Amino acid sequence: MVGDQSHSIGREAYRRQVFTEFQSILGNLIYSRFGFTPSAWQVDAIASIMTGKDVVVSAGTGSGKSLCFQGASTLLKEGEVIIIVAPLTALMDNHVRSLLDLDGSNYLIGYKA
């Protein structure tokens, strides 16, 4: 059991080991939900979001940035929120529609023209 190893391997090494195991489990969950294996950077971003860190993802068009928040949003507990900032209203609308198609949850689009 991982929890029993925290004193023998040191706190920081233990934290890295648990985070690595969490990333592995998360990768499997994303695969089962979306049907493909996410890239390591996508799993890192989702894992960071799920552990309460603020995350900024900057990557090229079509690289899979959307999976970072879509994957995390499917794992949220009731009442938790992910804020997505997109440069185009149409892009935000598209993301929300994709999430609605995925799980039927309620999402809000807010923007100021």
Q: Is residue 87 part of a domain?
A: no
Asked if 109 and 90 count as a contact pair (C-beta separation under 8 A), the reply is no
Structural domain of 42: 2-76
Inside any domain, residue 23: yes
Q: What pLDDT was estimated at residue 108? A: 53
In a domain, 112, yes or no: no
Worst-scoring range by mean pLDDT, 1-15, 40-54, 98-112? Answer: 98-112
Cβ-Cβ contacts under 8 Å for 113 (sequence gap 6 or more): 89
pLDDT in tens, 71-85: 887 777 777 777 777
At 72 the pLDDT is 80
Q: How confident is the model at residue 113 (pLDDT cuts 50, 70, 90)?
A: very low
Q: How far apart are CA 48 and CA 45, in angstroms?
A: 5
* Domain tally, the chain: 1
Is residue 67 within 8 Å of 34, Cβ to Cβ?
yes
Q: What is the mean pLDDT of the chain?
A: 75
Q: pLDDT per residue over 44-61, tens digit each?
A: 888 888 888 888 888 888
Rounded alpha-carbon distances, angstroms, from residue 106 to 41, 48, 74, 103, 109: 27, 23, 12, 9, 10
- pTM as predicted: 0.63
